[in-house]
Amino acid sequence: MPNLIDNSAKTSKLNLNEMDFKDQLKQIADKINKLKDSSKTEEATKNAFVMPFISALGYDVFNPQEVIPEFTADIGIKQGEKVDYAILKDDLPIILIECKHWKDALDIHNTQLLRYFNVTKAKFAILTNGINYRFYTESEPNIMDVKPFLDINILEIKDNQIDELKKFHKSYYDTANILATANTLKYSNEIKILLINEFKQPSEDFIKYFVNQVYTGRATEKVMKQFSEIVKISCQQFLSDLITERLKTALNKEKETEPKIPEPTTKENIIETTEEEIESYYIVKTILRQEIDSSRIYYRDFQRFFSILIDDSIRNTICRLYLAETTKEIAFLDDKKNEVRYPLTTIDDIYKYSDQLKQIAKTFVK
C-alpha cells in the first residue's frame, strides 16, 4: 500500500494518473477496518486515520506551513486550549480540525471548535473521530453553525460526497466555491431527514397535503385517519419501487461490462471457472487499473490455464495463470510468444509481479 502520509512537493497537486482520489479514500477505509481495534487512544486515531485523510486532501502533514498540529490561537480564548490541526493557506488557517477517539460520539457543543472559529480567519471546521467527518461553516459572520453542511462516514462514503470532499483538496480549494454550495447542502440534508421521518411516520400536515391533492370531499377526522395509513403505505411502496428500479439498472450495467467467457464446445470439454481464478482476475485488475481503464480488462478460462487479456483479445495477453491444487504459477509471454513461468505460493503472490503486469499493460494503452 502506498504511504498516504509521505507527501513530496510534487504531490501538492492532485495527480489522478498516480492514484485516483476515490482509491485513496478506499485505502484509508481499508486501513481503518484493519487497525481500529488496535487503536486504543485518541492519538492513535489521529496518527493512523486522520493524518492520512489530511494527506489525501493534498496537504503535507509534516510541513508547518500547510498543517499545524496542536494549533493555538493567541487571542480571546482560554489559555492553553488547542485544536488538533489547522490547515493553512497563505499563512492563515482555512480549516480547523478537532479529533476524537474513533469510538467517541461527535458532539459539537463539547469542543474547542466553536471558540476557535470566532477568533481565526478559518471559514470551515471539521469534527472527526477518524471515521465520521462533520464539516461546518458559518451562516452569520464568525459564528460557526451547530449543524454540519456535510457529514461523511469514510467507511460508507458515497460518490456525491466524494465530489463535495474533493472541493477541499489543496489543488481545488476555493473558499467562495465551497461556501456557495454549503448552505444548499446543509438545508438539503435537513430536508432529507424530514422526508425520512415523514415517510416513516407521516405528520398531519404531510397527510393533509395529499388529502387536498387527491380527495374531493371534506378532510374530516375520519378521512385524515384513513389517509394516514394510505400515505404511509404509498411512501413505503414508492421507496421500494425506486430501490428495485435502481437495482435493476445496476445489474444491467454489470451484465454489460462483465468479462466474456466462451461457451464450451462439447459437453466433455466443460470449463469450470473457480473462485480462486476469479479472485486472481480481480487482483490483476486492481493492479492494472492504475495504467489502463478497468473496463478493458477481461479474462478467458481455457482447459489448461486462466488468461487475463486486454480488450478481450488473446493477442493482448497480460498473463496466464495455472492454478492447480498442488502447484500454482503465473506465466508471461516473451517477444516470441513463449511462456516464462514463475511459481506462486498463493494467489496473493501475484502482487509481487505488479511491475511486470503494469509494464505489459502499458504496451496496450492507446
Residue 251: the pLDDT is 64
C-alpha grid cell, residue 90: 497563505
For the chain (366 residues), the mean pLDDT of every run of 10, in chain order, is 43 45 90 91 94 94 94 63 89 92 85 78 92 90 85 90 90 87 81 84 89 87 88 82 72 57 51 87 88 87 91 90 91 89 91 91 82
Element (H, E) at 166: helix 159-166
d(CA 56, CA 183): 25
Residue 357: the pLDDT is 93
d(CA 288, CA 300): 17
Amino acid letter, residue 181: T
pTM of the entire structure? 0.55
Helix, strand, coil percent content, the chain, rounded in steps of 5: 45, 20, 35
Residue 314: the pLDDT is 87
Convert 57-86 to b/e letters by CB count within 10 Å (16 or more is b). Answer: bbbbbeeeebbbbebebeeebeeeebbbbb
Strand partners, 128: 99, 133
Q: Show the beta-strand stretches assigned E in 43-149.
A: 67-71, 83-89, 92-99, 124-128, 132-136, 138-140, 143-144
HSE-CB of 326 using CA atoms within 13 angstroms: 0
User: 259-292: per-residue pLDDT in tens?
Assistant: 554 554 444 556 788 889 998 998 999 889 878 8
Residue 17: the pLDDT is 35
Sign of CA dihedral 355, 359, 361, 365: positive
d(CA 142, CA 326): 68
Are 58 and 13 within 8 A, CB to CB? Answer: yes
Question: How big is the chain by its Cα radius of gyration, in Å?
Answer: 27
Instruction: Give me the domains of the chain, ranges plus CATH numbers.
Output: 9-190 (3.90.1570.30), 201-240 (no CATH), 267-362 (3.30.720)
* Category of 311 on φ-ψ map: left (φ > 0), alpha (ψ -120 to 50) or beta: left
What are residue 117's phi and psi, to 5 degrees?
-60, -35
